[in-house]
Amino acid sequence: MDGTQQKWYYVLRGVIALLFGIAAIVWPAVVLEFLVYFFGFFAIIISAFALIAGATSGPSGSAKWSIILLGLLGILIGILTLVSPYFFIVIIIYLIAFWALITGVGDFVAAFTASAGMGMRLLLVLLGIVSLIFGGVLLFYPLLGAATIVWVLGIYAIIFGILGILYGITGGSTGRAPLAA
């Protein structure tokens, strides 16, 4: 790509990210539902390819059957996601909640059993408190947690979009290719 094409690429990518970010902030439920359906179709398509690859691979062996099993499992997960997208959202949020709670408890245990200085122990206690609060909020208010995750994704997309647009407007004038595409 020459400099002009790179400018348009970054501006277009930035505008799309910016629009997605705004949509995620304004309509988090719609964006979350879109992402869940996207994942469901993605899981089915990718897993179908895995199933085909496993079925058409060489002689039977553990690798062949593991690919076939992963393909079947992925298709099942994709179908379940499409059939019950809200159930899938809640399951993911609960998994994140339990992970945060376990992490918080682990940080507390580490704070009182580690041979670290008082400052490090205090940091571990604070990490534990933040993890337990986050996990508790997700556990008792899973849909609020899902919306918050979409809002964070939206904020990231807005920042990413603005920076991409700025780079596209100003970055190609040097005649040098960007570091990342």
Q: What is the pLDDT of residues 152-166, one digit of tens each?
A: 999 999 999 999 999
Q: Select from 1, 10, 3 the least CA-distant residue to 175.
A: 3
CA distance 133 to 145: 12
pLDDT at position 149: 86
Is it the case that residue 180 has pLDDT exceeding 60? no
- What integer pLDDT is reported at residue 8 of this predicted model? 86
- Name the token pair of 33: 């539902």
CA distance 78 to 84: 10
Res. 81: pLDDT tops 80: yes
pLDDT at 87 exceeding the cut of 80: yes
Rounded to an integer, the average pLDDT of 73-87 is 93
pLDDT in tens, 14-68: 999 999 999 999 999 999 999 899 999 999 999 999 899 888 876 676 677 888 8
pTM of the model: 0.66
pLDDT of residue 176: 55
Domain ranges of the chain: 3-171
Task: Write down the pLDDT at residue 77.
Answer: 93
Q: What is the per-residue pLDDT for 174?
A: 52
52-75 as b/e: b if 16+ CB within 10 A: eebeeeeeeeeebeebbebbeebb
What tens digit of pLDDT does each residue of 143-154 get? 888 888 899 999
Selection from 47, 118, 110 nearest residue 77 by Cα? 47
How long a stretch of residues is the chain?
181
Summarize pLDDT for 91-116 with one digit per residue, the tens.
888 998 999 999 999 988 888 887 76
Please count the other Cβ atoms lying within 10 Å of the Cβ belonging to residue 149: 19
Task: Name residue, tokens 């902030």.
Answer: 25
Cα(164)–Cα(62) distance, rounded to whole angstroms? 46
Nearest to 140 by CA among 104, 100, 108, 103: 100
pLDDT of residue 4: 63
